[in-house]
Amino acid sequence: MKRSKLYVILFVAITIAFAVIGMLVTKLSIDNIKNSTNRSIERIIGVVAEKYPDIDETEIFQVLSGEYNTDSGERLLRMYGISEEDWLVYENEQSSYNAVFVTAAVIIAAGAAFTCVFIIYLRKRKKETVRLTNYLSAINSGKYDLETEKNTEDENSILRNEIYKTTVMLREYSEKNLNDKVNLKKSISDISHQIKTPMTSTMIMVDNLIEDDDMTDKMRKEFLHDIRQSLNDISFLVQSLLTLSRLDSNAIEFHLENESIDGIFDECIRNTDIIADLNGVNVIKGECKNIKLKCDKKWISEALSNIIKNCIEHTGSGGRVTLSAEENRLYTQITVSDTGCGISEKDLPHIFERFYKSSNSNGKGVGIGLSLAQSIIEKHNGGIDVKSTVGKGTTFTIKLYKYE
């Protein structure tokens, strides 16, 4: 836009400049004609005054001022072949020709200047178009570097920036789709790998039940109990992996509401009540101070329940797991701490990895609960950190940043 305004201003300036030049040339030509006419009249008056000394000077000035009207002068001129179309003063004829030529030259020069400026403008436009075409070709070939130092605020630069933004957006969308496919493939591979062991174990136990007619009722019940446990593990594993896949592909829509932390803690305690009783662990709800959290209660409760479950599994009988929360202007902080065996420094960086089992694992889990919890928390504009001391316990710190 600024460049177009510059060209308009330039055209106006050139037009005004040549108009002024034309006016000056015309003024000079008129002055030249006036001077030559005055000199000729002065010569005529001088000759008349010398040849006719008795003539009244007043009559001469009356003739010059137009008070005398007579046709005798016109008849006399015609006798010598001089008509109204001819210049009575020869010098004026040459001056008029010069004025015409100069005016024509000024007009031609103005037209040439306008033409040159327009041609320069068209060449620059063509050059910018070629640059824009090459820019698109570079982007299509995978070169996404934007040369911001060469950008201006003209139309082509703005268009180039918008094309770059659109291209980057399409690239990110393409990469996201590719990542979704990779994550889906990885999830399917994980499901296949993780299900293989319990499925094989279940099939063996079923075969034993079918083929061993002499199996005692007690052993049959034990086999059926193990089969049910394996099926529960398979169901939990499949559901968890599918949930992770949906989280990775942003297929889950969170319904954010202002929820009470106290209510969320109560639901988490209910979700883990059975496993806490089986392990002899006391889950304690600490101070919440009537804190409200903008979240999807169902999913946040699932994430916290997975963390609490992990703490319970690594805390001996008689131990405790404590839940607490506090907030400031930036985020709400939830803390889950236990008095369990702790996590070694070697295992600590890997505990959120899928299917990772620490060296002090009891062997019952599949190593996916903490990974699922981390994904849910991150989708809620948050983050999770863990600190642990072997033999003293572990503390999970969750920070959920407030939405604007």
Task: Point out the domain boundary residue: 248, 270, 286.
Answer: 248
- C-alpha–C-alpha distance, residues 94 and 86, integer Å: 12
| One domain for residues 229 and 268 | no
Q: Is residue 43 domain-resident?
A: yes
Q: Which tens digit of pLDDT belongs to each residue from 257-302?
A: 999 999 999 999 998 998 899 899 999 998 777 899 999 999 999 9
Can you tell me the mean pLDDT for 299-307?
92
Q: Is residue 150 domain-resident?
A: no
Number of domains making up the chain: 3
Question: Which residues lie closer than 8 Å to 325 by C-beta, 6 or more apart?
Answer: 261, 265, 286, 287, 288, 289, 291, 332, 333, 334, 335
The whole-angstrom distance between residue 17's C-alpha and the CA centroid of its chain comes to 46
- C-alpha–C-alpha distance, residues 384 and 394, integer Å: 13
Q: Is residue 265 domain-resident?
A: yes
Q: Which tens digit of pLDDT belongs to each residue from 348-362?
A: 888 888 777 776 665
Q: Would the pLDDT of 1 be above 80? A: no
Residue 280, pLDDT score: 93
- C-alpha–C-alpha distance, residues 315 and 326, integer Å: 24
Residue 393, pLDDT score: 92
Residue 148, pLDDT score: 46
Task: Point out the domain boundary residue: 140, 174, 199.
Answer: 140
Q: Which tens digit of pLDDT belongs to each residue from 323-356?
A: 999 998 899 999 999 999 888 888 888 888 877 7
Q: Is residue 24 domain-resident?
A: yes
Assigned token pair, 200? 């094989």
| One domain for residues 233 and 276 | no
Q: Which domain holds residue 126?
A: 2-140
| One domain for residues 212 and 324 | no
Question: Which residues lie closer than 8 Å to 338 by C-beta, 6 or more apart?
Answer: 281, 311, 312, 314, 315, 319, 320, 321, 322, 393, 394, 395
| One domain for residues 232 and 281 | no
For residues 401 and 127, the model is more confident at 401
Contact 189, 183 (CB under 8 A): no
SS3 355: coil
| One domain for residues 89 and 186 | no
SS3 380: coil
CATH code for the domain in which residue 396 is found: 3.30.565.10
Q: Is residue 328 domain-resident?
A: yes
| One domain for residues 194 and 86 | no
Q: Is residue 145 domain-resident?
A: no
What's the predicted TM-score (pTM) here? Answer: 0.52
| One domain for residues 224 and 242 | yes
